[in-house]
């Protein structure tokens, strides 16, 4: 899973060496904080993928990692698994991407940290402060009726 680092000036999506290889990225994705226009939480980040995969890896329902080309511009996706919530970050288009689609359990904390006044420095501690979501236990499968 990607790591998110936030400071006064930028949001950084830190990719592991494996994730960089799968996304065809040479380094982490960095976005200037002032270029962030809108942040939205989502229960299903898969529905926010638009366009076609340009470079990266896409296995539906498993992983979408890399650049997605759409008519409105390029998006960066780092989405894993079906049950993980995410965050969609719309950008002003001055950088390499128009939108970031990321699956993360810390979406609410990220949203709150991005709304902070720039006089207070937001950092990784702000993101890690959010409690992890508890998963509901799975129901046991019911046996088929005897015929």
Question: Token pair for residue 77?
Answer: 């996706």
Question: Token pair for residue 61?
Answer: 């329902």
What confidence score (pLDDT) does residue 138 get?
61
What confidence score (pLDDT) does residue 3 get?
83
The angle formed by the CA atoms of residues 9, 3 and 78, to the nearest 5 degrees, is 100
What confidence score (pLDDT) does residue 65 get?
93
| List of residues 6+ apart from 104 with CB closer than 8 A | 1, 2, 4, 84, 85, 86, 87, 110
Per-position pLDDT tens, the chain of length 147? 678 888 888 888 888 899 889 999 888 899 998 899 988 898 989 999 988 888 888 988 899 999 999 888 889 999 998 888 899 999 988 888 999 999 988 888 888 888 754 444 444 444 444 455 555 566 666 777 776
- 3-state SS class at 122: coil
What confidence score (pLDDT) does residue 128 get?
47
What confidence score (pLDDT) does residue 88 get?
92
What confidence score (pLDDT) does residue 141 get?
67
What confidence score (pLDDT) does residue 99 get?
92
The C-alpha atoms of residue 38 and residue 88 are separated, in whole angstroms, by: 8
What confidence score (pLDDT) does residue 51 get?
86
What confidence score (pLDDT) does residue 108 get?
85
pTM: 0.72
Helix (H) or strand (E) holding 54: strand 52-59
The DSSP secondary-structure symbol of 111 reads H
């Amino acid at each position: 899973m990607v790591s998110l680092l936030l400071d006064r000036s930028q949001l950084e999506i830190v990719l592991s060496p494996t994730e960089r290889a799968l996304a065809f990225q040479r380094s982490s994705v960095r976005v200037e904080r002032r270029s962030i226009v809108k942040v939205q939480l989502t229960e299903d980040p898969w529905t926010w993928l638009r366009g076609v995969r340009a470079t990266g890896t896409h296995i539906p329902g498993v992983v979408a990692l890399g650049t997605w080309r759409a008519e409105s511009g390029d998006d960066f996706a780092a989405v894993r698994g079906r049950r993980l919530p995410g965050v969609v970050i719309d950008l002003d288009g001055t950088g390499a991407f128009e939108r970031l689609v990321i699956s993360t359990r810390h979406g609410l904390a990220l949203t709150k940290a991005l709304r902070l006044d720039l006089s207070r420095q937001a950092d990784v501690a702000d993101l890690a402060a959010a409690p992890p979501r508890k998963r509901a236990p799975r129901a046991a499968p019911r046996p088929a009726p005897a015929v």
